[in-house]
A and B are shown apart, each in its own frame.
Chain A
Amino acid sequence: MLEQLDVSQLSWARGQFALTAMYHWIFVPLTLGLSFLLAFFETLYVKTGNEQWKRITKFWMTLFGINFAIGVATGIIMEFEFGTNWSNYSWMVGDIFGAPLAAEGIFAFFLETTFFAVMFFGWNRVSKGFHLLSTWLVAIGSNLSALWILVANGWMQHPVGMQFNPDRARFEMESFWQVLLSPVAVSHFVHTTSSAFLLSALFVVTVSCWYLLKGRHVALAKKSLAVAATFGLISSAFVAFTGDESAYTAARVQPMKLAAMEGLWDGEVNADLVAVGIVNPGKKPGDDSDPFQFEIKLPYLLSLLANRELGSFVPGINDLVYGNAEQGIEGAGDRIARGKQAISLLATYKQARDEGDAVTAEAVLQQFNQVRDDIGYGYLSRPEDIVPPVPLVFYSFHVMVALGTLFPLLFGAILFFLYKDNLSQQKWFLRLGVLSVFFGYLASQAGWIVAEVGRQPWAIQGLLPVGVARSNLTTTTVQMTFFMFLIIFTTLLIAEVRIMTRQIQNGPEGE
């Protein structure tokens, strides 16, 4: 039987996963982006033969190594959390996630034992060309490694290429390519990796601007800035383009998430985009209160973003909760009814199977298959349960977009001042540059909040709510491990910051 839902335990389990994922995401984007910056620096060294580029490559490689060493294995925790806190979910997705996670493990293992070693130990011991190849392979391999994790996450947002097997209580993969090439997985991967590139460029900007403010390692800082700002500018364009694609995809497969991102309660034709706003925190589905206490809107742009068509209709939260017959949108109430029917049929199927009544089991299974796509809704009590926390999703989305709009201006200004050869004189600007990586992290973490909180209440979109995905543990057990990880991860973060700052203070001579 469905074990008694302990809401507090569920919240702590979700909080614990969010904690580990957010700490993990402090280290990962730097690995993904810095690896490419190392490849660019070293390519310039090999192309020009200028020893200064080698010195620059080795300096950033040391910082890359520190980040990698502190961050490695922090993702393992999440895999164990699946088995402990989310055992139903873990069992059900084992067949889908097995292949991507195994591929990730193989990539990581071969990279870390071979090309990482060549990259760090191979200076003057292997040819320049082979060393450069190793650096590029580390960059490409690290990012391919991230592909498999993001494909798994993309599948949770848009489950395709599978079928539910009631005998094994598992989602079984039917098409690997559908899972890999799902539009959500693809846009998720390119948006996430390009945002990691942008963040790494900001990291280089922060350190280099600090050097320029202090008047130390000026040549290293300027050369690093030229490469990082160019990379950051290009990455910013990718982030904007892929972000637009992500919103377009969300409008197709997760319209509730898009409505929450924009605080759109009632659907509109020619829907406006809220550029800046303060949401009404007390707003509930179906009530008549104003959604915003203050807002500045850009006309028609939400319709353009969602459908790439100015005059199109964008469904709001109320349309998705209660339905909108005029626009052909079914409310959650109907889906809940079908979901409950699916659950009931599943119970009948199990009973018939257990009693060896193959004829009844087969007949019930056919009925179940007609309503199985709504099974997740059957675990919800009321239509309003499909609404995620709107203020958190709205503000996270707008913080991410606002910062994402400012970063290319920062990169552009750096390139302009470098071209004018007066960057060192712009003290105010250099101070802003020093702070930039913190804003980068804020935007990056906000992006994950949009992706993950915005799809609540689902662990697997439409099929499995988080309340059914969890294990039946005591709240105390989850609380205890929550604080344990909080202490461990905070210690690791302090270690990273201390070692990193000491190495930055030492500069390239301190390798």
Chain B
Amino acid sequence: MGLATQVVRFYVDGFRSMRLGRTLWKIILLKLLVFMTVLYLFFPNHLNRRYETDQQRADHVLRQLALLPDGQQ
């Protein structure tokens, strides 16, 4: 038996023999699904969404940094 087959069989047998592990894997997959949905819908990258290039993003942040808190330049 080749090494690759041995490795694949190692994982397949391991997953098959799980008992509590099956419940845990279901929780992991469900959790990742919920996380990804929430993150995709509600957590866009603010700068990536508003600007197309890195230069535009840098300019935006620089504009934020370069002005005084009361809005005076």
Contact = CB atoms under 8 A, between A and B. Distances in A.
B10 A117 contact: yes
A76 interface: yes
Which of B11, B21, B46 is packed against the most chain A CB atoms within 10 Å?
B46
A108 B60 CA distance: 34
Contact of A168 (B11, B58, B71): B58
B67 interface: yes
Contacts of A88: 61, 64-65
A26 to B, nearest CB: 14
A477 B46 CA distance: 13
Contacts of B32: 73
Interface string A358-391: 0000000000000000010011110000000000
A343 B14 contact: no
Interface string B7-37: 0001101110101110111011001101100
B44 interface: yes
A473 B42 CA distance: 11
A69 B23 CA distance: 10
A381 B69 contact: yes
Interface in A472-500: 473, 477, 480-481, 484-485, 488, 492, 495, 499
Contacts of B58: 91, 167-170
Given A62-B20, A66-B24, A73-B35, A80 B43 contact: yes
B51 to A, nearest CB: 10
A169 B24 contact: no
Contacts of A81: 43
Contact of A343 (B28, B42, B59, B66): B66
Contacts of A90: 45, 47
A378 B64 CA distance: 13
Contacts of B68: 2, 340, 343-344, 378
Contacts of B62: 166, 169, 346, 350
Contacts of A375: 65
A185 B32 CA distance: 31
A84 B44 contact: yes
A295 B40 CA distance: 51
Contacts, number: 134
Nearest to A83: B45
Contacts of A87: 45-47
Given A2-B64, A117-B14, A468-B64, A488 B43 contact: no
Secondary structure call for the A interface: helix
B47 A91 contact: yes
B42 A477 contact: yes
A77 interface: yes
A503 interface: yes
A287 interface: no
Counting contact residues on chain B (CB < 8 A from A), the size range is 35 or more
A80 B64 contact: no
A2 B71 contact: yes
Given A69-B28, A72-B28, A84-B44, A488 B38 contact: yes
A2 B25 contact: no
A449 B40 CA distance: 29
Nearest to B23: A499
Nearest to A168: B58
A476 to B, nearest CB: 12
Contacts of B25: 69
B47 A121 contact: no
A181 interface: no
B20 A503 contact: yes
Interface of A: 1-3, 5, 62, 65-66, 69-70, 72-73, 76-77, 80-81, 83-85, 87-88, 90-92, 117, 120-122, 125, 166-170, 340, 343-344, 346-347, 349-350, 375, 378-381, 467-468, 471, 473, 477, 480-481, 484-485, 488, 492, 495, 499, 503, 511
Interface of B: 10-11, 13-15, 17, 19-21, 23-25, 27-28, 31-32, 34-35, 38-39, 42-48, 54, 57-59, 61-69, 71, 73
25 contacts: A1-B63, A1-B71, A3-B64, A66-B20, A66-B24, A69-B28, A73-B32, A76-B39, A80-B39, A83-B45, A84-B46, A88-B65, A120-B21, A121-B13, A122-B14, A125-B10, A166-B62, A347-B67, A349-B66, A375-B65, A381-B69, A467-B69, A481-B43, A488-B35, A499-B23
